[in-house]
Amino acid sequence: MPVLATPEQDGLELVASEVTAAVRSVDPAAIAAAADQIEGANRVFVFGQGRSGIALRGLAMRLMHLGHSAHVVGDATAPAIGTGDVLVLASGSGTTGSVVRAATAAAEAGAVVVAMTATADSPVGRAAARTITVAAAVKTDHGGTASAQYAGSLFEQAVMLVGDAVFHALWQRSGAAAEELWTRHANLE
């Protein structure tokens, strides 16, 4: 008699399958273009709301490990953004009010905006100099056709992995050994 999968096994398979498809939807040229912008930046800022913002905090940490000056918008120690800086944003819908306002303000201050979104033709997508488009459901898509997961879970998961792909590209370009990055790893844990 065949063993039936548990709901937990089904959930793991579903998430893995959807994330794989979403990440494969990303154009590698968009990853390269984002890496180009970050590589030449004076400083890098990241911003997103909710779980998208949490995923981008991971990117900021990895960029710091690589030796970049990286800041999370809204943190007390984040400086003013300006010319020569890059703002990396994430908004699945591309319409999140605070993210749209940050994109506009950053561009007006002379910074380059890189956006991760599921909706390239959105206010955030249009404000960005570089857009990484992820084929994923946005938080208001409750139809289950783009993703069987809740709300924007798939987009948020993809943001984490796309951020890691951008970091990996930059790390490979740098030629730095893992031991060099490790010297910047937190030691007050």
Q: What's the DSSP call for residue 71?
A: E
For tokens 């905090």, the residue is 57
Residue 43's identity, in one-letter code, is: R
Q: Out of 13, 108, 156, 179, pick the active-site residue.
A: 156
Residue 92 amino acid letter: G
CB neighbourhood size of 146 (10 A): 16
Contact (CB, 8 A) for 56 and 87: no
Edge-first strand listing for the sheet containing 44-48: 70-72, 44-48, 86-90, 112-117, 130-133
- Active-site residue 39, yes or no? no
The residues annotated as belonging to the active site are 156
